[in-house]
Amino acid sequence: MEISLNDFLVGDGFSYIFKSGKRGMINFYFFIDSVEEDLTTGYSQSLKEFFKKLNKYPIYLHGISGSKEINISKGAKTSKVAPRNYHHLVEINNIEELVNYFPKAYLDAFNNDSILFSTEETIEMDLTSDIGLARFILDYTKTTSKDRYYLWGGHDGIGFDFVSNFSDYPYNKVPITSDED
């Protein structure tokens, strides 16, 4: 299994948008080059390890879904933000809570819900999206010394986008290739 990072953000414009041209210091799409039969397990395990190595708490798990009941909704604050759009929010304070919620969040991403992990508890949403689901608005316009990141789980459980204002992250020894290469 070989880990690859690419500068093309898969969820950009579809599941989230940026408030301005500022995109943080680091941004990449994480994927696995593999011929293994069970890629789902490979992605799930790699993402779980990424969070463990990142080790920044609290983590806020955000989900946007057309359904009031998704896997992360038990224990989440759920609110209706637009017709057929529910926002689910879970605060994760330690590795044990992450281990509990991670498989649920991964399954929700696999089922095409929009799943975003972040250091930010409050995230703006674009409720006028023409794609049916609201989109997250990632904001790097605020100047802060606090480490901030957004990690969007790819639909169908394939890969993830990572955007941060810090450069010390898991797999930072893996080069980020350009989509144009």
pLDDT tens-digit readout, 121-179 = 999 999 988 778 899 999 888 776 678 899 998 776 677 899 998 888 888 888 899 87
% of the chain exceeding 90 in pLDDT = 40
Half-sphere exposure of residue 2, counting CA atoms within 13 Å on the CB side?
5
Say if 127 falls within a structural domain.
Answer: yes
Say if 181 falls within a structural domain.
Answer: no
Question: What element of type H or E holds 52?
Answer: helix 39-54
Say if 180 falls within a structural domain.
Answer: no
Q: Is the pLDDT of residue 58 over 90?
A: yes
Say if 28 falls within a structural domain.
Answer: yes
Counting the structural domains of the chain, the total is 1
Q: What angle do CA 100, 27, 11 make, to 5 degrees?
A: 70
- Owning domain of residue 40: 2-175
Say if 100 falls within a structural domain.
Answer: yes
Say if 6 falls within a structural domain.
Answer: yes
Q: Using pLDDT thresholds of 50, 70 and 90, give the confidence band for residue 12.
A: very high
Q: Is the pLDDT of residue 86 over 60?
A: yes
